[in-house]
Each structure stands twice: as C-alpha cells, then as structure tokens.
C-alpha cells in the first residue's frame, strides 16, 4: 500500500497501517529522538538569546540587527546545494556528530568572550554565520539519515515523532529562554545551548545500527555534476517536482504574511506586545497538534488528499487574518484561530512532504534532493518578502494579506494536483 520506493531496491510503503508502529520501542531511534529533543529545545535559547546579546549587551543598531539576520540566512542560499552533495559523499551520522560538536564550540565562544571582555558584533556575525553553515550541513544529513535508521513504512511515524520534539520546543522554548536570560544573562544562557549540542552528539554516537557506505571516491563525479544530478532528480520525478513547486509557491506568499503580520496586528488591529506574543505562541500549539494528527490524517484520507487538503484548508484559514476586525477580543480570537489551525495544517503537510520525499528518493541522492527542495523554498522566500512589502504599501495591508492567503492556498494546491495517483493510499 502507498508509495512504492526504490531507494533500497525493494518495494515499500510510506503510508503506515495501524500495525506499523513501535518506534518508541526501537533503541536507536530513541537515541536520535532524545538528542534532537534536547537540542531543539535549547536552540530556542540561542535563537532568542543572540539578538538579546546584540541589543542589550552590545547596543546594536537596526542595521546591525539586519546584518545579523542576513548572516543566518546566507549559508542556505550560498552553500545549500554543495552541502547536499557533500552529504551524499559521506556517511551521514559521523557528519552530524562533527557538526554538533563544532556548533557547541562556536556557541561556547559567546559566553567566553563576554567573560573575558572581547565580545563584539563582529564575533556575533561570525558565530551566526558559521553555526548556520553547520546547521545547513546537519539538516541535509539529518533528513537523509532517517531512512537508513528506520524502515520506509515507519517514515511518517519517525518524522511525526521528530516534529513533535520541534513543536514542544516551540511551545516551551521561548519561556525557557526568557527565564535563563533573566537569571543568567543572555551570553551565559547560550552556554546551555552549547552543551545541548554535546548531548546530541553523544546520542548520535551511541546509535549502533550500521549505515550504508557512500560511493567510493573513484566512483564519484565532479561535485558540479552531482549538484546538477540532484536538481535534475527533483525536476524529472513528478512527485518531487510537484512538491517543490508547491513549496516554493507557499514560501513566496507566506513571506507576504511574515513581513506584514506584526505591522498589521499592531497598527490596524490595535494589538499590544503581549497580545501579539500570545497570538504567535498559538502557532507552536498548532504545530504540536499537527504532529500528533499527522498519522491519523493519512490513515483516514490517504497521502495525496492529505497533502492537497492541508494546503487548501491552510489557505482558507489564513483568510481569518485579513478578515479580522471589530472588537479587539474578536480580532485576537480570529488571529489565534488562524495561528492554531494554520500552523497545525502546515505541520501535517511538512511531515508528509518530508516522508514522501524520503520514500521515493534513492539513498545516494537523499542529501542533494533535500538541499534542492530547501533551496526552492528558501531561495524564493526573500523575493516574496520584498514583493509583499511593496504590495502592502501599494495596495494596503489587508488586500495583500488576502492575496497571500489565496495564493498560498489555491496556487500551492494546484501544483499538488499533479501528484501521481500512486502516492495515494491504495486502500482509499
């Protein structure tokens, strides 16, 4: 039943049946899950803590804060495809361990620099840039590694469990970050995240399941040829092409909302900082619910309908944002509902999109395909932010947010209609 994958030379299903459960009882998967749960939770400390170091400790200007954000985004655009090729040339687990340990050392430089009095913005730029490079490498290896750790019929369960960790971190992480920054100061709080990468590295090192060896150096093509092979694999595989086009469209329109959301909530709806923060926090709760409902959804509706339905419904629910008006309480309720349901549907889509990608991609191409898909979404995102900002000024914020909801829902779902019928559950 489900998608028939050829990555390991045998037919397998990506859609789980109720009897295909039990990753909680698989020791090696639990080691991966525990390490990533700790790392995800503590990474929120750095995400929130580094900007606070820049603002509170170093008095950063708006331009410097923009440069700090750009330092984090630059590696995705510049080395993403190379990272995918390197991942396919190397064993994934050792690469993940090395990048975890390097990130631990990089982040350790912040509290050390603060303690010895040489912390400045140039160091923060370097910390963000090099830790982001490691993150690009880790993430490419991470998504390519899971299919070697669990069987293909367990992919959705595995991705759901790992997404659950990320969702819990999104709900609990900001509060933990705030407490630690308040109690320890921002630079010292980042030490906790540094230690979490050590925990992640040790959890990966404890995994005993052997990993498939990559191709021997003599069998490799030039890296440029391998990058093109990864891009071609996405374009020539109908399911991957549909997912890439849909994700790129969603990223383009989603960045309209990302740019305008806070401005709209504060200036047009009259939200205060607390109301805005609580509203955004509902997205973390939605992610958590989506991770819990991902498996039941695909078992009930099938994979193809789940992907299309989550995209369409997510777009329609996003219309609650531009439609919000009236008393402040009503507006808050509408935006909270949008965050809760919209992020929940996005989580369901993401889990199944990654699982489908892993199921139909041969092992030797997993890193490159993952990097190519990430570049499709990440590369078009900044363009969407620019266009959204321009249209917000030219048309008004409400019409632009309505356009974002419709485009992100209807146009993204249009590409998914091109998914082959074979991706659906044959029992539905």
Sketch the domain layout of the chain as residue ranges. 23-210, 226-419
Domain at 23-210: CATH code: 1.20.1250.20
pLDDT at position 373 is 86
Which residues of the chain are under the pLDDT cut of 50? Answer: 1-13, 17-20, 425-428
State the distance between the two ends of the chain, measured CA to CA, in whole angstroms. Answer: 10
Query: Measured between alpha carbons, how far is 94 from 201 in angstroms, rounded to an integer?
Result: 9
pLDDT at position 11 is 32
pLDDT at position 14 is 53
Picking from 284, 297, 41, the residue whose alpha carbon sits closest to that of residue 160 is 297
pLDDT at position 215 is 65
Picking from 383, 295, 388, the residue whose alpha carbon sits closest to that of residue 347 is 295
Query: Measured between alpha carbons, how far is 137 from 95 in angstroms, rounded to an integer?
Result: 8
How many residues appear in the chain? 428
Query: Measured between alpha carbons, how far is 170 from 284 in angstroms, rounded to an integer?
Result: 5
How remote is the C-alpha of 376 from its chain's centroid? 13
Query: Measured between alpha carbons, how far is 106 from 226 in angstroms, rounded to an integer?
Result: 30
Query: Measured between alpha carbons, how far is 326 from 193 in angstroms, rounded to an integer?
Result: 42
pLDDT at position 88 is 87
Q: Do domains 23-210 and 226-419 have the same CATH topology?
A: yes
Query: Measured between alpha carbons, how far is 248 from 379 in angstroms, rounded to an integer?
Result: 8
**Fold (topology level) of 226-419:** Growth Hormone; Chain: A; (1.20.1250)
**Would you call 422 exposed, middle or buried from its count of C-beta atoms within 10 A (0-12, 13-18, 19+)?**
middle
pLDDT at position 332 is 92
Residues 6+ positions from 283 with CB-CB distance below 8 Å: 170, 339, 340, 342, 343
pTM of full prediction above 0.75: yes
């Amino acid at each position: 039943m489900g998608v028939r994958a050829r990555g390991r030379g045998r037919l397998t299903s990506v859609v789980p049946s109720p009897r295909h459960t039990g990753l909680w009882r698989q020791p090696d998967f639990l080691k991966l899950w525990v390490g990533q749960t700790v790392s995800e939770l503590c990474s929120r400390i750095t995400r929130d803590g580094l900007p606070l170091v820049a603002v509170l400790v170093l008095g950063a200007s708006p331009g410097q804060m923009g440069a700090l954000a750009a330092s984090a985004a630059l590696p995705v655009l510049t080395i993403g495809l190379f990272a995918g090729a390197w991942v396919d040339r190397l064993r994934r687990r050792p690469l993940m361990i090395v990048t975890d340990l390097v990130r631990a050392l990089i982040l350790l430089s912040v509290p050390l620099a603060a303690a010895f009095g040489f912390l400045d913005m140039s160091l923060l730029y370097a910390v963000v840039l090099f830790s982001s490079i490691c993150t690009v490498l880790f993430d490419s290896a991470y998504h390519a590694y899971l299919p070697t750790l669990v069987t293909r019929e367990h992919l959705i369960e595995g991705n759901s469990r790992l997404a659950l960790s990320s969702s819990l971190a999104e709900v609990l992480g900001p509060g933990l970050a705030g407490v630690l920054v308040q109690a320890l100061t921002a630079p010292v709080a980042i030490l906790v995240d540094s230690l979490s990468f050590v925990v992640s590295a040790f959890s990966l090192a404890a995994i005993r399941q052997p990993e498939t060896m990559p191709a021997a150096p003599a069998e490799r093509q030039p890296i440029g040829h391998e990058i093109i092979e990864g891009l071609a694999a996405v374009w020539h595989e109908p399911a991957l092409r549909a997912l890439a086009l849909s994700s790129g469209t969603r990223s383009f329109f989603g960045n309209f909302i990302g740019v305008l959301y806070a401005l709209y909530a504060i200036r047009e709806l009259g939200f205060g900082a607390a109301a805005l923060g609580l509203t955004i926090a509902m997205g973390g709760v939605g992610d958590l619910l989506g991770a819990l409902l991902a498996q039941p959804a695909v078992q009930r509706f099938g994979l193809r309908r789940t992907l299309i339905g989550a995209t369409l419904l997510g777009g329609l629910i996003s219309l609650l944002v531009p439609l919000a008006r009236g008393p402040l309480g009503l507006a808050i309720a509408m935006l909270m509902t949008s965050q809760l349901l919209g992020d929940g549907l996005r989580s369901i889509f993401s889990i199944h999109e990654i699982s489908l990608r892993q199921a139909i991609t041969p092992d030797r191409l997993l890193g490159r395909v993952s990097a190519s898909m990430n570049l499709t979404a990440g590369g078009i995102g900044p363009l969407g932010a620019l266009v959204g900002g321009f249209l917000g000024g030219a048309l008004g914020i409400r019409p632009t947010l309505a356009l974002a909801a419709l485009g992100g829902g209807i146009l993204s779902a249009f590409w998914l209609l091109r998914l082959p019928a074979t991706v659906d559950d044959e029992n539905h």
